[in-house]
């Protein structure tokens, strides 16, 4: 037996042959060591060997023997955080926190030379959430947090309630648990884009030592479902089986192997013998709409429209007449690429049977309550027999508004009676999870000489891939806010969501609206150019105003209305900031061209379909509170915001409120944390619940003291009743004597929906020969109502803007006959520190009358104006319109040098 010294403790253990240090340490229950890739690309697994940082996924475990291994858990000394942990605390240099351990283990070794060259020094560590600004702040000793003062929680930059646990490695993410007798599940995925499985021989797999079961389509329940999570399941087609006998995209799961170890399960997958009958495949949605195109599904799934899963069309006014009245018309086609969420924590879940004889599923999900309903449907069991919950979730961005792992682990555990875990690899994320829908949008837009729009006509084709979850809803979103953002009497839209043999589309931050915002914002700029108008003036002239009907292409009235209005202020802020400049010049050389661009985005806060949420809050014997909310905290900071909202109402400190999230046993129902609902729906539930509890406490205090009710008010840890001050602990004790429980529960629904805006300004330099783009100045203004936590809102926007730059400039899923050829972080390229410009972020000074405590949605829409602002700046710099994402150097070069 070998001896390993980890964080000063000695372990006797023998690594498996070929085992890496990362998995070895996790086998020792050192869970602060994370996995983002297992390929040396992300740095989430960084540990020290004799004081030097290494990506532990690249280090053979046996090399750790005889060396001092330090992980995030071993960094604090004598109960005192390491200075870097403290710096990350004070700057709040994380959101989901999944990257934080690796970031700290890397940066804690930095000297001044490293700090002076962070783009280079941080090239081995990726963060998907923060846009790196807060990490940069931490490394420069910036303090972003404020004091937690009773009664002043709302609007304060308070730290995340789980900060210490995250930064010391104690926070438990989905996979950070040791369970006795745990089995591991792995799946074999189809190498073919379209194929019928004619034979699977399990003999070889079952002969692999440690393999306990192999499941194929013959073994599983044949109840179709959609993996998409929505309140109304009818908005998504039931087109998926647990395991199918037909593979419709390269990467679809076709068999599951369960074994005593992950290695054995993987070996079992490799040992399966599968015969396929290759079927004709179609990848292009336009080709898939043609008569005679290969059909993706059988008649029981498809309608008479063949592969067209959903078509939407509508018109207000008379578009043909509108174009007749136009002095200038622009028409062009724009297309957006398929991209992946790349939440650093991959998908995964663990299922087991509890002592209560119920099934428990621990999962990385944005919607555990809807997962519970879907699992009950598939397995044919009552929901009461199922408990679905999240621990800390390492990012979502819409990718976890999807049930893609829970079904198989529950099925296997129900079959085998043992706990079963399935943790996805990074490659599986790229080939087997959902992506942003690729959309192609033709825009025709006309205006009078003075810039007044007369007609807007949009034609959208969305490639929904092999399965249709989110296909109709993203198409609906694509044809909603981006068109409704502009006043125009004549609007028309036609859209199709089409099945193809591609990896399925799904929910993704911006949710369809990102795609058509790109097209329309580019088209508005082109029209302004034709008319010789300034792009800011063009937008000011046409953007919707209070009192307008907020309408896109449908005649039916909408429940979206202005609870506040700040687009005018956002446009002013960005225009002023760009005009003022930031002193960054374009690089020297005649081949560099410089240009400036702007784009706006509008967001109806919440989906047009149902969304509901509940909250429960109670006073505890020690005078503090407990709040239970069904929404998921996945780095969006919703737990921090909810706590601040409750503290603001009860007049206490946020730190005096404990919070439980996203648990079907322990929190009230919540549709899910997606579609910009965390603040406006579950936040509203928290608001009215805290208010109800406050009323209950004051009513009781009034009765207890004899003071008039209007003489009673909450004051931190006490109630003031006239001149008398009663501690909440005393009040609780008095209540207990008469069996009075201080508790409240309320529910919130979405409608009406208020409206938020974002404006992005970009000044860039582009090299005409190499195609390199450098962002010289990036300015973002957001109309999000009252920021509940300004630091956190800024962090969300930093992350959204960085993700937007990734979509515009570096990220690209390259497919060949439906097979992704670059399913690794090093080849897919989410923005690293070096790729991410620092963005100046501003808020409009609005206070919303619909959203709770004046707030609106804030985390989602920031991504939408980035790509069009970059395209508009490129057009300004070069005179050439780049209409197809992403703007990679080769594309820039090809287009600028085309004859
Ligand atoms: S998990 Fe080791 S570098 Fe990503
Ligand atoms: S906070 Fe860095 S990946 Fe989420």
**375 CA distance to ligand 2 middle (Å):** 29
Q: Is 886 helix (H, G, I), strand (E, B) or coil?
A: coil
CB atoms within 10 A of CB 372: 25
Q: Is the pLDDT of residue 899 over 80?
A: no
User: Parallel, antiparallel, or unpaired: how do β-strands 453-465 and 491-499 relate?
Assistant: parallel
Which of 26, 55, 71 is the pocket-test mutation for ligand 1 (most atoms within 8 Å of CB)?
55
Q: Is the CB of 99 under 6 A from ligand 2?
A: yes
Torsion of CA 524, 527, 532, 535, to 10 degrees: 0
Q: pLDDT-based confidence at 343, cuts 50/70/90?
A: very high
What is the mean pLDDT of the segment spanning 15-37? 96
Q: Is the CB of 95 under 6 A from ligand 2?
A: yes
Q: What is the pLDDT of residue 818?
A: 97
User: Parallel, antiparallel, or unpaired: how do β-strands 612-619 and 592-604 relate?
Assistant: unpaired
What is the mean pLDDT of the segment spanning 275-292? 97
DSSP letter for each residue of 461-480: EEEEETS-TTHHHHHHHHTS
Distance CA 401, CA 387 (A): 18
| Ligand nearest to the backbone CA of 636 | 2
Nearest partner of 37 among 344, 430, 365, judged by Cα: 344
Q: Is the CB of 776 under 6 A from ligand 2?
A: no
Closest Cα to atom 2 of ligand 2? 127
Which pLDDT tens digit goes with each residue over 138-197?
999 999 999 999 999 999 999 999 999 999 999 999 999 999 999 999 999 999 999 999
Q: Is the pLDDT of residue 810 over 90?
A: yes
Ligand 1 atom index nearest CA of 37: 4
**635 CA distance to ligand 2 middle (Å):** 7
Contact residues of ligand 1, CB 6 A cut-off: 22, 35-38, 40-45, 55, 57
Distance CA 326, CA 754 (A): 32
**748 CA distance to ligand 2 middle (Å):** 30
The answer to whether the peptide bond before residue 598 is cis (omega within 30 degrees of 0) is no
| Ligand nearest to the backbone CA of 96 | 2
Which pLDDT tens digit goes with each residue over 438-491?
999 999 999 999 999 999 999 999 999 999 999 999 999 999 999 999 999 999
Q: What is the pLDDT of residue 44?
A: 98
Q: What is the pLDDT of residue 887?
A: 97
Distance CA 677, CA 251 (A): 31
- Is residue 30 within 8 Å of residue 71, measured between CB atoms? yes
**426 CA distance to ligand 2 middle (Å):** 15
Distance CA 728, CA 279 (A): 70
Q: Is the pLDDT of residue 675 over 90?
A: no
Closest Cα to atom 3 of ligand 1? 40
**828 CA distance to ligand 1 middle (Å):** 15
pLDDT above 70 as % of the chain? 100
Q: What is the pLDDT of residue 670?
A: 93
Q: Is the pLDDT of residue 91 over 90?
A: yes
Distance CA 643, CA 625 (A): 10
**714 CA distance to ligand 1 middle (Å):** 49
Q: What is the pLDDT of residue 504?
A: 98
CA pseudo-torsion sign 337, 774, 98, 671: negative
| Ligand nearest to the backbone CA of 167 | 2
Q: pLDDT-based confidence at 374, cuts 50/70/90?
A: very high
Which of 94, 342, 634, 636 is the pocket-test mutation for ligand 2 (most atoms within 8 Å of CB)?
94
User: Parallel, antiparallel, or unpaired: how do β-strands 839-843 and 773-783 relate?
Assistant: parallel
Q: Is the pLDDT of residue 556 over 90?
A: no
Q: Is the CB of 130 under 6 A from ligand 2?
A: yes
Q: What is the pLDDT of residue 261?
A: 96
Which residues in 150-183 are b (16+ Cβ under 10 Å) and which e?
Answer: bebbbbbbbbbbbbeebbbbebebbbbeeeeeeb
Which residues share a beta bridge with 626?
Answer: 618, 658
Q: What is the pLDDT of residue 849?
A: 94
**422 CA distance to ligand 1 middle (Å):** 18
Start-to-end C-alpha separation, the chain: 69
**60 CA distance to ligand 1 middle (Å):** 13
Ligand 1 atom index nearest CA of 35: 1
How far is Cα of residue 38 from the mean position of the Cα atoms in its chain?
22
Q: pLDDT-based confidence at 301, cuts 50/70/90?
A: confident
- Is residue 419 within 8 Å of residue 455, measured between CB atoms? no
Name, in order, each residue with C-beta under 8 angstroms of 370's C-beta and a sequence gap of 6 or more: 229, 230, 231, 233, 403, 671, 672
Q: Is the CB of 393 under 6 A from ligand 2?
A: no
How far is Cα of residue 174 from the mean position of the Cα atoms in its chain?
16
Q: Is the CB of 104 under 6 A from ligand 2?
A: no
Mean pLDDT of all residues in the chain?
Answer: 96
Q: Is the pLDDT of residue 609 over 80?
A: no
Q: Is the CB of 103 under 6 A from ligand 2?
A: no
Structure tokens at 844: 């409009």
Which residues share a beta bridge with 815?
Answer: 820
**105 CA distance to ligand 2 middle (Å):** 14
| Ligand nearest to the backbone CA of 824 | 1
* pTM of the shown model: 0.96
Q: Is the CB of 97 under 6 A from ligand 2?
A: yes
| Ligand nearest to the backbone CA of 171 | 2
| Ligand nearest to the backbone CA of 802 | 2
Which alpha helices (H) appear in 486-534, and where do they start and end?
A: 513-531
Q: What are φ and ψ of residue 329, in 5° steps?
A: -130, 135
Q: Is the CB of 671 under 6 A from ligand 2?
A: no
Q: Is the CB of 830 under 6 A from ligand 2?
A: no
Q: What is the pLDDT of residue 416?
A: 98
**464 CA distance to ligand 2 middle (Å):** 28
Q: What is the pLDDT of residue 860?
A: 85
Distance CA 500, CA 714 (A): 59
Lowest-confidence range among 23-27, 231-235, 335-339, 661-665? 231-235
Distance CA 136, CA 478 (A): 35
Structure tokens at 705: 């003291």
**248 CA distance to ligand 1 middle (Å):** 31
Q: Is the pLDDT of residue 11 over 80?
A: yes
Name, in order, each residue with C-beta under 8 angstroms of 298's C-beta and a sequence gap of 6 or more: none
Distance CA 21, CA 829 (A): 25
Nearest partner of 313 among 149, 479, 192, judged by Cα: 479
Which of 46, 98, 122, 859 is the pocket-test mutation for ligand 2 (most atoms within 8 Å of CB)?
98
Let me know if 300 is exposed, middle or buried by CB neighbors in 10 A (0-12, 13-18, 19+): exposed
Which pLDDT tens digit goes with each residue over 835-862?
999 999 999 999 999 999 999 988 788 9
- Is residue 25 within 8 Å of residue 69, measured between CB atoms? yes
Q: What is the DSSP letter of 132?
A: T
Q: Is the pLDDT of residue 335 over 80?
A: yes
Q: Is the CB of 395 under 6 A from ligand 2?
A: yes
Q: Is the CB of 98 under 6 A from ligand 2?
A: yes
Q: pLDDT-based confidence at 304, cuts 50/70/90?
A: confident
The strand ranges marked E within 427-519 are 438-447, 453-465, 491-499
Q: Is the pLDDT of residue 199 over 80?
A: yes
**41 CA distance to ligand 1 middle (Å):** 6
Q: What is the pLDDT of residue 598?
A: 98
């Amino acid at each position: 037996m070998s001896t390993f010294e980890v964080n000063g403790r000695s372990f006797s253990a023998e690594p498996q042959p070929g085992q890496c240090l990362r998995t070895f340490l996790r086998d020792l229950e050192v869970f602060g060591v994370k996995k983002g890739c297992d390929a040396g690309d992300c740095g989430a697994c960084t540990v020290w060997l004799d004081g030097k940082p290494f990506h532990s996924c690249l280090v053979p475990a046996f090399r750790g023997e005889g060396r001092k291994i330090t992980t995030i858990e071993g960094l604090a000394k004598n109960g005192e955080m390491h200075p870097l942990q403290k710096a990350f605390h004070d700057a709040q240099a994380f959101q989901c926190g999944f990257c934080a351990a690796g970031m700290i283990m890397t940066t804690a070794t930095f000297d001044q030379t490293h700090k002076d060259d962070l783009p280079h020094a941080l090239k081995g560590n990726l963060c998907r959430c923060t846009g790196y600004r807060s990490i940069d702040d931490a490394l420069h000793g910036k303090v972003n947090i404020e004091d937690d003062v009773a009664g002043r929680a709302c609007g304060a930059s308070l730290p995340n309630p789980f900060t210490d646990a995250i930064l010391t490695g104690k926070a438990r993410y989905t996979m950070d648990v040791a369970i006795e007798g745990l089995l591991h599940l792995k799946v074999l995925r189809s190498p073919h884009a379209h194929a019928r499985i004619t034979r699977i021989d399990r003999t070889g797999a079952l002969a692999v030592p440690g393999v306990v079961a192999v499941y194929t389509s013959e073994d599983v329940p044949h109840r179709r479902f959609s993996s998409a999570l929505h309140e109304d399941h009818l908005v998504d087609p039931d087109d998926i089986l647990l395991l199918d006998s037909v593979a419709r995209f390269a990467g679809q799961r076709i068999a599951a192997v369960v074994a005593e170890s992950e290695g054995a399960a993987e070996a079992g997958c490799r040992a399966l013998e599968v015969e396929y009958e290759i079927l004709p495949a179609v990848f292009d949605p336009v080709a898939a709409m043609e008569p005679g195109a290969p059909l993706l599904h059988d008649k029981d799934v498809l309608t008479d429209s063949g592969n067209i899963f959903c078509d939407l069309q509508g018109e207000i006014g008379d578009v043909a007449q509108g174009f007749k009245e136009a002095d200038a018309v622009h028409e062009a086609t724009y297309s957006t690429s398929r991209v992946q969420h790349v939440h650093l924590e991959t998908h995964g879940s663990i299922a087991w049977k509890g002592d209560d004889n119920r099934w428990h599923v621990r999962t990385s999900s944005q919607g555990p309550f809807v997962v519970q309903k879907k699992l009950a449907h598939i397995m044919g069991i009552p929901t009461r027999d199922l408990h679905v919950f999240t621990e800390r979730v390492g990012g979502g961005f819409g990718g976890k508004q999807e049930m893609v792992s829970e079904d198989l682990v529950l099925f296997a555990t129900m079959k085998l009676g043992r706990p079963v875990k399935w943790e996805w690899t990074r490659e599986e994320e790229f080939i087997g999870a959902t992506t942003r829908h690729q959309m192609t949008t033709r825009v025709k837009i006309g205006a009078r000489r003075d810039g007044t729009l007369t007609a807007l006509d949009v034609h959208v084709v969305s490639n929904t891939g092999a399965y249709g979850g989110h296909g109709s809803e993203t198409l609906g979103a694509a044809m909603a806010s981006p068109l409704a953002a502009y006043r125009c009497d004549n609007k028309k839209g036609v859209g199709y969501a089409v099945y193809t043999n591609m990896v399925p589309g799904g929910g993704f931050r911006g949710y369809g609206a990102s795609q058509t915002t790109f097209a329309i914002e580019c088209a508005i700029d082109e029209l302004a150019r034709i008319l010789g108008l300034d792009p800011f003036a063009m937008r000011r002239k046409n953007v919707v105003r209070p009192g307008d009907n907020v309408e896109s292409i449908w005649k039916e009235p909408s429940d979206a209305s202005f609870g506040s209005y700040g687009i005018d202020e956002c446009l002013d802020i960005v225009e002023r900031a760009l005009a003022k400049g930031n002193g960054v010049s374009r690089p020297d050389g005649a081949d560099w061209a410089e240009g400036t661009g702007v784009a706006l985005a509008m967001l109806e806060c919440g989906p047009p379909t149902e969304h509901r949420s509940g909250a429960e809050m109670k006073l505890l014997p020690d005078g503090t509170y407990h709040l239970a909310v069904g929404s998921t905290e996945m780095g969006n900071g919703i737990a921090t915001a909810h706590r601040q909202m409750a503290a603001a109402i009860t007049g206490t400190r946020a730190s005096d409120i404990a919070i439980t999230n996203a648990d079907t046993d322990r929190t009230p129902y919540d549709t899910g944390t997606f579609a910009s609902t965390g603040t406006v729906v579950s936040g509203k539930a928290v608001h009215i619940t805290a208010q109800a509890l406050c009323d209950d406490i004051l009513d009781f205090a009034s009765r207890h003291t004899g003071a008039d009710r209007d003489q009673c008010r909450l004051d931190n840890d006490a109630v003031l009743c006239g001149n008398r001050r009663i501690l909440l602990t005393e009040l609780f004790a008095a209540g207990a004597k008469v069996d009075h429980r201080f508790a409240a529960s309320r529910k919130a629904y979405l409608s009406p929906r208020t409206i938020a805006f974002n404006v992005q300004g970009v000044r860039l330099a582009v090299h005409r020969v190499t195609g390199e783009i450098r962002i010289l100045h990036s300015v973002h203004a957001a109309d999000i109502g009252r920021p509940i936590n300004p630091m956190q809102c800024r962090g969300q926007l930093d992350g959204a803007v960085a993700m937007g730059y990734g979509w515009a400039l570096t990220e690209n899923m390259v497919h060949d006959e439906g097979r992704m050829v670059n399913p690794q972080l090093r080849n897919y390229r989410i923005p690293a520190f070096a790729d991410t410009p620092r963005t100046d972020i501003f808020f409009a000074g609005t206070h919303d009358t619909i959203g709770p405590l004046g707030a609106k949605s804030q985390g989602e829409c920031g991504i939408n104006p980035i790509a069009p602002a970059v395209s508009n700046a490129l057009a300004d710099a070069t005179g050439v319109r780049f209409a197809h994402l992403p703007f990679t150097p080769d594309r820039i070069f090809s287009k600028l040098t085309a004859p």
